Amino acid sequence: MDIGDCYRLLGLRSGASFAEIKASYRRLAQQYHPDINPDDEKSKDKFIALTEAYKLLQTVVPPEEIAPKLQSASNSSMSMDSYTEVKPQNQVSSNTTVMPHPPTFEDIEQRLKWKTYDQLQRFLQARRFPQAIALVEALAARLPNDLEVRQWQAISYQIWGRALIQEKQMPKARIYLKKAVKTDPHNKALLMEVQRDFERLGIKF
Q: Distance between CA atoms of 144 and 44, rounded to whole angstroms?
A: 37
DSSP string, 68-97: PPPPPTTT----GGGS-SPPPEEEEETTEE
The answer to whether 129 and 53 are in contact (CB under 8 A) is: no
- Return the number of other C-beta atoms located less than 10 Å from residue 116's C-beta: 20
pLDDT at 182: 94
Q: Distance between CA atoms of 146 and 144, rounded to whole angstroms?
A: 6
The answer to whether 50 and 37 are in contact (CB under 8 A) is: no
Say whether pTM exceeds 0.75.
no
Which tens digit of pLDDT belongs to each residue from 48-67?
888 888 888 877 766 544 33
pLDDT at 100: 54
pLDDT at 1: 61
pLDDT at 179: 93
pLDDT at 203: 72
Q: Distance between CA atoms of 153 and 158, rounded to whole angstroms?
A: 9
Q: Distance between CA atoms of 45 and 147, rounded to whole angstroms?
A: 38
Q: Distance between CA atoms of 70 and 72, rounded to whole angstroms?
A: 6
pLDDT at 19: 83
pLDDT at 102: 59
The answer to whether 176 and 130 are in contact (CB under 8 A) is: no
pLDDT at 180: 93
- Which residues on adjacent β-strands are paired with residue 49? none
Which tens digit of pLDDT belongs to each residue from 176-193?
999 999 999 988 888 888
Q: At residue 64, what is the residue type?
A: E
Below-50 pLDDT ranges, the chain = 64-94, 96, 99
pLDDT at 67: 30
Complete domains list, the chain, with CATH: 1-65 (1.10.287.110), 104-205 (1.25.40)
**Helix (H, G, I), strand (E, B), or coil: what is residue 98?**
strand
Please, how many CA atoms are within 13 Å of residue 91, restricted to the half-sphere of its CB?
Answer: 3
pLDDT at 200: 82
- Return the number of other C-beta atoms located less than 10 Å from residue 25's C-beta: 21
